[in-house]
Chain A
Amino acid sequence: MTSPMPAKANTARTIGIYARGGRLATWREIAIGLGIAVVSAGLAILLEPWIDQTGSALIIVLGVVNAGALFGLVSSATASVVAFLLYNFFIAEPTMVLRMTTGQDVAPLLAFSLTALVTGALAGRLKDREQSAQRGNIRLASLLSTSRALQSTVTADSVASALLSAGANLEFRAGSKDVPLPGDGQTSCPVMIAGRIVGTIHTRVDQSGVVDADYLATVSALVALALERAELSAQVADAMALARSEELKTALLSSVSHDLRTPLTAIIASASSLADLGDRLPPEARHSLLRTIVSEGERLDRFTANLLELSRLQSGAPIPTSALDPADIVASAAARSRVRIDHQLVGRVPSGAYLVHADAQLFEAAITNILENAAVHGGGGPIEITARADGDRFELGISDHGPGIPEAERERVFERFHRLDPGRPGSGLGLAIAKGFVTASGGSVAATDRQDGLPGTRILVSLPLARDSLTHGLIKHA
């Protein structure tokens, strides 16, 4: 078991437990056996005048058995050989020679030697078993802790750190660069997944004394499993993300298809009616068709603006912001949506009072969406606009007189395709797009109660005030 024979390529797996300490350990055991034999033989020689040859033989046997019991087979075998020689030389007649004269002399001597050898061997084997059981336990515990640590890993990166932290102090190096040579079997082992080398584990400092080729092979299998699992769960996550984005794409496409085609249908039907029927239509009908063409054209324009801004956001490029007067933005957003919403706009953002950091197109698109939303869901009453500075933030409130949004829904109304009342027209995208646009400009959007206690919703847009407006005292509270 403890053979220190040099490893050969094809015998790498038969190397004993003490991969590095084998030679040392054996010499130590032989020395101990020698020592015990000398001590017990010395004691026997000293006491021989009083206790007779048989008594001193028993003392020596006691020593050999103890050598075996305490230090294992090698010690007991050494002790028994040495003790036999010492006994033969110093105690058995004739003393001071290594020679047997009569059968009477030989018989007890032989019996003694055999007894010493057998009992020593038995005790030694017990000791060895105990030691190897102990080592087995340590290996098992170490493997278990490694396995536990590896099982909790979810990414390929965490496999290496889990392995380092898991007792046996092994190192995982990904890639097939550090593949061990066959002779390195005791200190490293390749990790294979489906016959392909994906990395190597290396022994660092082995304090536990449990690392050998078998151990490395087992750990390498565990690492391979963990890596495979990490790879699979990454694939599952990818697949789910893909499915989600596909779902979103489908929903977006069907919304785009509806939002584009509805105004187009109205425009084409109006225009072809005017072309085909012309004079046969009463003047007010002709006028209404022309108005429809204009307003639906504007609706298309708003929609394409949204799409363009969305695609700009999705390109992932950082959105440059500049200092803007929110009064201009709100006015142009209101003009953009006013045609469609025949609502009264109450209040305004005082011109020149604030400067905010935002992207002009995104900001305007966001406000347009919020105004549209208030127009469609706001109960038909006037839409109120408030503006104020709060610390280094600019706050724009857009309030309506609709039924209001229940507390629990106030976060969700900003989710894509979330609609409070599926019975009302809408794509469930307006507020989500508004939020996306404002967030991209470094701001935030929230839905709250109206502040005057009346039923209705207030959408609060918060954007960072430009430093200039703070330092130059531009803020004159409205």
Chain B
Amino acid sequence: MASSSMPDVNGSILFVEDEAALMAVLVPVLSASGYQIATANCGESARQQLFDQPFDLVLLDLGLPDKDGKELIEPAVAAGAAVIVISARHQEAEKVASLDRGADDYVDKPFEISVLMARIRAAIRRRGALAIRQTSYSHGPLRVDLASRRVTLEDQTVRLSPKEWALLSVLVASAGQVVTHKRLLAAGWGTASTDAQYLRVYMGLLRQKIEEDPSAPRILLTEPGVGYRLSAPTQI
């Protein structure tokens, strides 16, 4: 577990979930991992708690008994919290809508605890990094330095076209988190209405340059129907 090497990654989490079983699992596990955790089993309770105190992150199950979980995303973001959506719904539309409303990321049910932890860490780190910008990324042999615009693979410089660089820098800024097609298109082409086909082509080109095996990507991951995700950075 990578978190063992970074004991400083603590924070407060509001867990919004109506299933007692999941609550019973995640509350002790997140507490043991150093997070302060509050729970809400319905939308109204969650709204109230967001109003009462600040949270670093809201872990939000979309299927709530009293309202659509998505309605909580804006208030949570407005209260300064990062939002990770948990949903059994595997519909891309739900995920995209949640991300469009300001959610940082999502996890599909069922998930392994390490995946959830990595997403929580990435979301909290990025929220902190909004003030101090994320400037570099490393994963295995890959190094990306945003300030000097340098990309190296096993210390060999990788040449990127301006468009490839634009896309990669957006992904690096949100390393470990999903970035929607819309945001990538806006970054690369200046408009989100561009055909997502172009995106696929450029992501293919990027993979050729930064992946060991472009056909089995380990760094630049596809989130089908939603967008792309740069794997969580490896610690140096």
Contact = CB atoms under 8 A, between A and B. Distances in A.
Interface in A263-316: 263-270, 272-273, 276-277, 280-282, 284-285, 288-289, 292, 295-296, 299
Q: Which of B26, B66, B88 counts the most chain A CB atoms within 10 A?
A: B88
Interface string B160-191: 00000000000000000000000000000000
B24 A292 contact: yes
19 contacts: A262-B19, A262-B109, A263-B21, A264-B109, A265-B109, A265-B111, A266-B21, A266-B25, A268-B111, A268-B112, A270-B25, A272-B112, A273-B25, A276-B1, A277-B33, A285-B29, A285-B31, A288-B28, A289-B28
Contacts of A269: 22, 25-26, 29, 110-113, 116
A177 interface: no
A261 interface: yes
A6 interface: no
A299 B20 CA distance: 13
A257 interface: yes
Interface stretch (A47-55, A75-83, A418-426, A442-450): A418-426
B153 interface: no
Contact of B32 (A258, A264, A285): A285
Nearest to A289: B25
Interface residues of A, number: 31
Interface of A: 257-258, 261-270, 272-273, 276-277, 280-282, 284-285, 288-289, 292, 295-296, 299, 422-425
Nearest to B34: A280
Contact of B29 (A265, A281, A424): A281
B63 interface: yes
B211 interface: no
Interface in B96-128: 109-114, 116-117
A289 B22 CA distance: 10
Given A276-B117, A277-B113, 17 more contacts: A258-B63, A258-B88, A261-B109, A262-B19, A262-B109, A265-B88, A266-B21, A266-B25, A269-B26, A269-B112, A276-B112, A277-B29, A282-B28, A288-B28, A289-B28, A292-B25, A425-B18
Given A261-B110, A423-B42, A424-B65, A266 B32 contact: no
A120 B56 CA distance: 114
A447 B65 CA distance: 24
Contact of B28 (A276, A285, A423): A285
B19 A266 contact: yes
Contacts of A282: 28, 32
Contacts of A258: 63, 88
Q: Which of A263, A285, A424 counts the most chain B CB atoms within 10 A?
A: A285
A281 B32 contact: yes
Nearest to B18: A425
Contacts of A272: 112-114
A-side binding surface: helix, strand, loop or mixed? Answer: helix
A112 to B, nearest CB: 101
A423 B65 contact: yes
B185 to A, nearest CB: 31
Contact of B21 (A262, A281, A424): A262
A431 to B, nearest CB: 18
Nearest to B20: A425
A295 B33 contact: no
B130 to A, nearest CB: 29
Contacts of A284: 28
B29 A425 contact: no
B160 to A, nearest CB: 36
B65 A422 contact: yes
A280 B32 contact: yes
A261 B1 contact: no
Contacts of A266: 19, 21-22, 24-25
A295 B21 contact: yes
A269 B26 CA distance: 8
Given A268-B110, A269-B110, A425-B65, A262 B28 contact: no
Q: Which of A257, A267, A268, A284 counts the most chain B CB atoms within 10 A?
A: A268
Nearest to A270: B25
A261 B65 CA distance: 17
A267 B112 CA distance: 9
A232 B78 CA distance: 56
Contact of B24 (A276, A277, A288, A424): A288
Nearest to B30: A273
